[in-house]
Amino acid sequence: MPRTEKGSRIGYESRIMLLAVLAALPATACALALLWSGGYQARTEWTLTVAIVGGWLGFAAALRERVVFPLQTMANLLGALREGDFSIRGRSPRPDDALGEVMREINTLGVTLREQRLGAMEATTLLRTVMREIDVAIFTFDEHRRLRLVNRAGERLLDAPTERLLGATAAELQLEQCLDGPPQATLQAAFPGRAGRWGVRRTRIREHGLPLDLVVISDITEAMREQELQAWQRLVRVLGHELNNSLAPIKSIAGSLESILARDPLPADWLEDVTRGLSVIHSRSDSLTRFVGAYARLAKLPRPQLQPLVAGDCVLRAVRLETRIAVQVQPGPEVVIHGDPDQLEQVLINILRNAADAALPGGGGVRAGWRKEGGMVEIWVEDDGPGLAGTANLFVPFFTTKPGGSGIGLVLSRQIAEAHGGELALENRESASGCVARLKLPG
């Protein structure tokens, strides 16, 4: 049988005892041989033999004890640490030897584990307190879709105590749509405790190696109502401003025409005045028609039809369509974006047109280019115009500072950019006068 297998059948303490006996066996054998061959009296020989053998075995047992006892002490210390008892400390007669270093490291480990346990307990207590008091419903479901954790807000949402909720399935709690839907969603739902509009977030976590679904449900009814109210107020303000701008002259001209036609006899140039007045009314009516059509176009933006596009080609096509000013193109890397060619071309045309409108009065220039930034492709257009006086209303529908402008170009452009998973930003240049527009799209 191999030595390792044979040794594995002998305990550690027995091996230490055996090694101690074998270590002193040659010297003991020699001493006994000299003793029994020296011609001593039998009584002397047996007395010395018992003393030699007794001392030999006694020292071997003492050596075993000196080796095994510290190991047993360290095993007890480690067992106490494993059980969570960090108050026990080990001590060595000589702290500067190897055994003392081991004891010191075990004691240090105990202090570290105690501090970590206190920190973990405090963090867990804080987390449980926050979860219990926060006004957001939190649920945790296991892999079988059974509820494992719920806070007070969740109890109020489902109108039931924790004892009745734990262990119930998502179907029984009417929360299946929160587990089956996208990780982030907004839904209109009626729960036993309350109905309204809810924001749902779902995250996969693990506890003791088992997967859990953490579901957070927040009431966004008031926030959505506030945003809707602000949107309506902003829309009504813009609509009222535009309608007043058109209806005021129409009302004034209609009153003037009515007074002219009421005269008897009619003035000599009445036909010319009526014709001119009707022309103004027709012009303002067309303006209102265009205004309503622009709003309809803004509200019915179609989903983009994505396809691979070369960023440089998109920029060059849009630049060629701007004939009022020579746009300087600064070439960038050869990158491909995924987008709708018609919609992206409309965005670039709007940006270049605004840059040209800003640069032309002062005789400035317009430059365009593109660059790669991480996972995004940035198409930029800068001008030498006066810059932006304020950016708060840039993306407010129908807000414009240009005579005859519709006020939807930038809003429509930003909607197209966001529909492509990107963003559109306008800001003043830092090193010179003028503005720079940045269109970022996934690369």
In CATH, what number is assigned to the domain containing residue 357? 3.30.565.10
- Which range of 3-7, 168-172, 288-292 scores highest in mean pLDDT? It is 168-172
pTM of the model: 0.41
**pLDDT band at 4; cut points 50, 70, 90:** very low
383 and 435 assigned to the same domain: yes
Residues 327 and 405 in one domain: yes
* 330 and 274, same domain (yes or no): no
pLDDT at 98 over 70: yes
In the block, residue with structure tokens 């105990």: 110
CATH number of the domain within which 161 lies = 3.30.450.20
Q: Is residue 330 part of a domain?
A: yes
In the predicted structure, residue 369 carries a pLDDT above the cut 80: yes
Same domain assignment for residues 248 and 330? no
Does residue 409 lie in a domain region? yes
> Domain check: are 67 and 143 in the same one?
no
Is the residue at 129 inside a domain?
no
- List C-alpha distances in Å: 363 to 278, 366, 384: 39, 10, 8
Q: Is residue 208 part of a domain?
A: yes
Q: What are the CA-CA distances from residue 125 to residues 129, 181, 247 (Å)?
A: 6, 32, 65
Is 102 among the domain residues? no
Residue 24 has pLDDT above 50, yes or no: yes
Partners of 435 in beta bridges: 428
- Are 161 and 43 in a shared domain? no
Residues 330 and 388 in one domain: yes
Residue 424 falls within a domain, yes or no? yes
Question: Are 213 and 241 contained in the same domain?
Answer: no
pLDDT of res. 5: 44
pLDDT at 3: 46
How many domains does the chain contain in total? 4
* pLDDT score for 309: 92
pLDDT tens digit string along 274-326?
888 888 787 777 767 766 666 666 566 678 888 999 999 999 988 888 878 89
Residue 99 domain flag: no
Structural domain harbouring 72: 3-82
**pLDDT at position 173 over 50:** yes
**pLDDT, averaged across the chain:** 81
Domain termination site, one of 247, 274, 298: 298
In a domain, 120, yes or no: no
